[in-house]
Amino acid sequence: MIHVENISKHYGSTQALEAIDFQIEKGTCFGLVGPNGAGKSTLMKILSGILLDFEGDIRVGEWKVSKDRSTIKQQLGYIPQDICLEETLTAYDNLFLFGNLYGLRRKELNPRMDEVLEQVGLTDRAKDKVVTFSGGMKRRLNIACALLHKPEIIIMDEPTVGIDPQSRNSIFALIHHLKKTGRTIIYSSHYMEEVEQLCDSIGLIDKGKLVEYGDMQSLLDKYRKPSLFISGVQITPEVLRSFGDVEEKGNGYLLNSSQPLLTLRDLVNYCHEQNLNPRRLELYHPRLEDIFFHLTGTELRNA
Amino acid sequence: MWAIARTELKKTVQDKGLWFWTFVLPVVFIVAFVAIFSGDESTSYKEVVTQIIPGYTIMFAFFIMISMVIVFVKDRERGMVSRIASTPISIYQYFFGKWVPFIIIVLIQITVLFGFGVVVYDLPLGDPFALILLSLALAFIVTGWGMAMAVIVKTENMGIALTQILALGGALLGGLWMPVEFMPEIVRNLSQVLPQYWALQGYKEIILSGGNVTDVWFHILFLILAGIAGIALALFSYPRFLRQARS
């Protein structure tokens, strides 16, 4: 269990984080989301032991970051957003470097290098220079470097940026496997559908504060408003307003109603009478992305 | 720590630019300037080679700072510094691991350039123990200052510009291009605070005057203290360096 206790961080007069408090259950995946400049990166730096001067504390099991930093770091595997590899060296060289940084000796490191390479599907490229790898392969090796020492906690900062669907799927499969083996994962991403798919709980940060936190399903239920989605039909918003509250969404409209099934029936009847054939007319369940926009707004962030 | 050193050394060996700056260009300079000044009848051949070979060796040893700046700034900008900071190793281990390969390169550079001097120009070496100690002190100060520069500068270009000022300005004022005796008094006084001056005077004392360690102890001490100041500055500036690092 990880306890993040009342963490605050200032950069000069700017408050980057304010009294952040949450817990993460062992063996679960915790999603950390927030707009740019929300304080997410600062929190990730604190969680991964890069930023040392902050207020509050983090407890990992019986250890406290303020007292047992080195012990906790040994339990951490940090996968940064940027691909941090020595590109002119081979995959083996990179793994050897990171294995050594986590204190692994050659005898235990050699078989571990082969194991993690197999886990990320790079066994046949072990002796090739990283500069010859595709973006997806580099991302997978980036992850492998953090898994060598079998960390209990894995911190992933946007691990799927700029990669092909195959590599993304392979990373998702690896995350599911890691969860099954009892690893705790802290996952940060701007891709809400990924977070929704992978994470058991989330923390949403905005303007340095934790604006929402909890179990993923409970959170989705909390913000679940009955609504309908209609698209691909020539109905004006004015007409739709006679059925309920209307808001534009993508290439269609979201129709909020207290009785969505009855409204759906009425809409079907209306379309039938008017000889209209909507491309989509369905009950709509809010996604994490809707909650994200609801809580953080849709205006652009320049931070 | 040794893994960082091993990785850095492997990367460095592959860097063709470093080979050029460290070995090829200094040899070209030595050959050219020995040829030019050998024609001067007022100066003996021995004085020419004992001025030019150590002088250009010292000057080009300072250029290792450019490679160090590039390595540290790149590591900072691509997130490697943050990633390493997330591992259990300490900043001392990090710096030591980064420092070892560069000190090895400078020692090899000094050996190669002096060796070239011995083979081609019959350069006398004097007391080998004193020569080794002074060379270690030289390698220590250039890499120590290189570390400080690498951690302090914001961009590669800024680091390269400052290194040029330190290396070329120090070479001019420290008497590496021309003995300080031929310079105005103000420059002679200024040169006393430059490591380049003490390194050159030390080499001359050993090579030209047959001095031993007791004759160059102050020169060595000066270089070591200046190197320690550089390393202390690098360690002091590390938190800011880490804050600027991408993650």
3-state secondary structure chain B: CHHHHHHHHHHHHCCHHHHHHHHHHHHHHHHHHHHHHCCCCCCCHHHHHHHHHHHHHHHHHHCHHHHHHHHHHHHHHCCHHHHHHCCCCCHHHHHHHHHHHHHHHHHHHHHHHHHHHHHHHCCCCCCHHHHHHHHHHHHHHHHHHHHHHHHHCCCHHHHHHHHHHHHHHHHHHCCCCCCHHHCCHHHHHHHCCCHHHHHHHHHHHHHCCCCCHHHHHHHHHHHHHHHHHHHHHHHHHHHHHHHHCCC
Given this model, what pLDDT does residue A231 score? 86
Q: How confident is the model at residue B27 (pLDDT cuts 50, 70, 90)?
A: very high
Strands of the sheet containing A14-24, edge to edge, are A14-24, A2-11, A55-60, A63-64
pLDDT at residue B16 greater than cutoff 90? no
- Å between A50 CA and nearest CA of chain B: 5
Residue B7 touches partner A, C-beta closer than 8 Å: yes
Q: What is the mean pLDDT of residues A174-203?
A: 92
Interval A31-57: pLDDT, tens = 999 888 888 888 998 998 888 889 999
CA distance B71 to B74: 5
CA distance A180 to A170: 15
CA distance A238 to A220: 29
Q: Which residues contact B205 (CB under 8 A, 6 or more apart)?
A: B211, B215, B216, B219
Q: How confident is the model at residue A142 (pLDDT cuts 50, 70, 90)?
A: very high
Please, how many CA atoms are within 13 Å of residue A274, restricted to the half-sphere of its CB?
14
Determine the number of helices (DSSP H) and then strands (DSSP E) in chain A: 11, 14
Which member of B78, B79, B87 has the closest CB to residue A101? B87
Which member of A41, A81, A88 has the closest CB to residue B14? A88
Q: What is the ipTM of this complex?
A: 0.81
Residue A14 touches partner B, C-beta closer than 8 Å: no
For chain A positions 137-166, those within 8 Å of chain B (CB to CB) are 155, 157
Q: What is the mean pLDDT of residues B200-222?
A: 94
A204 CA to centre of own chain: 10
pLDDT at residue A300 greater than cutoff 70? no
CA distance B15 to B20: 9
Q: How confident is the model at residue B105 (pLDDT cuts 50, 70, 90)?
A: very high
Instruction: Catalogue all structural domains in chain A, each as residue range(s) with its CATH number.
Output: 2-215 (3.40.50.300), 225-284 (3.30.70)
Given this model, what pLDDT does residue B237 score? 92
Please list every residue in chain B whose beta carbon sits closer than 8 Å to the beta carbon of residue A86: 7, 11
Given this model, what pLDDT does residue B38 score? 81
Given this model, what pLDDT does residue A267 score? 87
Residue B74 touches partner A, C-beta closer than 8 Å: no
Please list every residue in chain A whose beta carbon sits closer than 8 Å to the beta carbon of residue B91: none
Given this model, what pLDDT does residue A117 score? 95
Other C-beta atoms within 10 Å of B181: how many?
7
| Residue to substitute from B80, B83, B98, B241, interface A, most A β-carbons within 10 A | B83
Do B83 and A49 lie within an 8 Å CB cutoff? no
Token pair for A162: 């700029």
Interval A102-126: pLDDT, tens = 999 989 999 999 999 999 999 999 9
Q: What is the mean pLDDT of residues A206-222?
A: 88
pLDDT at residue B45 greater than cutoff 60? yes
With CA atoms as reference, the chain A residue closest to B7 would be A97
pLDDT at residue A298 greater than cutoff 80? no
Residues forming beta bridges with residue A229, ordered by sequence position: A254, A282
For all residues of chain A together, what is the average pLDDT? 88
For all residues of chain B together, what is the average pLDDT? 91
Q: How confident is the model at residue A303 (pLDDT cuts 50, 70, 90)?
A: low
CA distance B34 to A122: 55
- Answer yes or no: are the C-beta atoms of A278 and A232 closer than 8 Å: yes
CA distance B219 to B201: 8
Given this model, what pLDDT does residue A290 score? 81
Given this model, what pLDDT does residue A301 score? 64
Least Cα distance to B141 among B215, B205, B213, B197 occurs for B197
- Å between A58 CA and nearest CA of chain B: 15
| Percent above pLDDT 90 for chain B | 62
In total, the C-beta contacts within 8 angstroms joining chain A to chain B are 73
Q: How confident is the model at residue A239 (pLDDT cuts 50, 70, 90)?
A: confident
Please list every residue in chain A whose beta carbon sits closer than 8 Å to the beta carbon of residue B3: 96-97, 99-101
Q: What is the mean pLDDT of residues B190-195?
A: 92
CA distance B53 to B197: 14
Interval A63-94: pLDDT, tens = 888 888 888 999 999 999 888 999 999 999 99
Q: What is the mean pLDDT of residues B12-34?
A: 90
Residue B83 touches partner A, C-beta closer than 8 Å: yes
Least Cα distance to B72 among B24, B143, B126 occurs for B143
pTM metric for this prediction: 0.82
- Å between A108 CA and nearest CA of chain B: 15
Query: Residue type at B202?
Result: G
Token pair for B164: 């040029």
Residue A197 touches partner B, C-beta closer than 8 Å: no
- Å between A186 CA and nearest CA of chain B: 15
Burial class (CB in 10 A: 0-12, 13-18, 19+), A271: middle
Please list every residue in chain A whose beta carbon sits closer than 8 Å to the beta carbon of residue B238: none
Please list every residue in chain B whose beta carbon sits closer than 8 Å to the beta carbon of residue A49: 85-86
Please list every residue in chain A whose beta carbon sits closer than 8 Å to the beta carbon of residue B86: 48-50, 73, 76, 78, 155
Of A62-76, B40-54, B119-133, least confident by mean pLDDT is B40-54
| Residue to substitute from A100, A141, A156, interface B, most B β-carbons within 10 A | A100
Please list every residue in chain A whose beta carbon sits closer than 8 Å to the beta carbon of residue B11: 86, 88-89
Of A260-274, B34-48, B52-66, B174-188, least confident by mean pLDDT is B34-48
